[in-house]
A = this chain, B = another copy of it.
């Protein structure tokens, strides 16, 4: 990877080639697809032999695709921090180091979310006030463009943390979705103030005091009624919702053939299923979600991602980088930090 910085395009991404259920086959293909379609540089980080085997199957045509050797993989089943100690040259670790040293502008991984979060936190560092990165984004494709966070990294949240998520979501909606004044809501079991669990009831007044665009509580059904641009919940609720939507979508699609077999050909049913799935499967739509609160662009994607999804994740990395969203997040959080000094500490 000599002279990478000198010869690469403006934006180069470090792609964890070993991550995901279908790495390196799909990750390498996805990286090459991104380089071809988006004009970005891609550094494939992983087992050199395996990566070159995959590259040999593809047309490279002088694309800015590079290979960086690493050894070992942090698995879903590993304890993240322990795994980083025991596998200091694992693919996600080496990929993240490329951002730290300025050789790439972002890191993208379809591997263990915990592994990516721990690596990004340790190597790139966290914005002041964040205990761990937050995960979020629009999870419902065409069905709802609302940014929902946190999606699983913070399961027991103080109200002040929820306030931080609101600030992060606002920066995302502004910079990535170009919504000037995103409306912010708390996800709850009733619209009125006073509805909800203790966490949400306490957060309500904190949101009212600190967020000009707070529109109050919304219920689960309102996610589909365009009542808010940023929907805040703790990672326990968010993760259950995310995976519930995925399961519900897949199950609905599986039920289509029985409902439709007499009405249309099998091929059309599959196509319809894909159309519906794009609304319920984050891997299909977004490609990947940014780790918010990390000092650097770090994108995690779904383990089941295929090449086109991986190319989408690279595209998300580039959008986050181009938009200056990370700076905006840092600014928003720092402003909040000065106003609200950990009120429920």
Measured between beta carbons, the chain B residues less than 8 angstroms from A189 are: 152, 155, 235-236, 239-240
Check if B155 sits within 8 Å of A236, measured CB to CB.
no
A101 within 8 A of B: no
Check if B237 sits within 8 Å of A240, measured CB to CB.
yes
Check if A248 sits within 8 Å of B248, measured CB to CB.
yes
Q: How far is the CB of A194 from chain B (nearest CB, A)?
A: 10
Q: Which size bracket describes the interface of A in this complex?
A: 35 or more
Q: Which of B221, B242, B263 contacts A246 (CB 8 A)?
A: B221
A178 within 8 A of B: no
Check if A246 sits within 8 Å of B220, measured CB to CB.
yes
Least CB separation from A280: chain B residue: B248
A335 within 8 A of B: no
Q: Which of B197, B222, B245, B251 contacts A143 (CB 8 A)?
A: B251
Check if B143 sits within 8 Å of A252, measured CB to CB.
yes
Check if B196 sits within 8 Å of A221, measured CB to CB.
no
Q: Which of B222, B237, B246, B252 contacts A276 (CB 8 A)?
A: B252
Chain A residues in the interface with B (C-beta under 8 A): 140, 142-144, 152, 155-156, 187-189, 196-198, 200, 219-225, 233-237, 239-252, 255, 259-260, 263-264, 268, 272, 275-276, 279-280
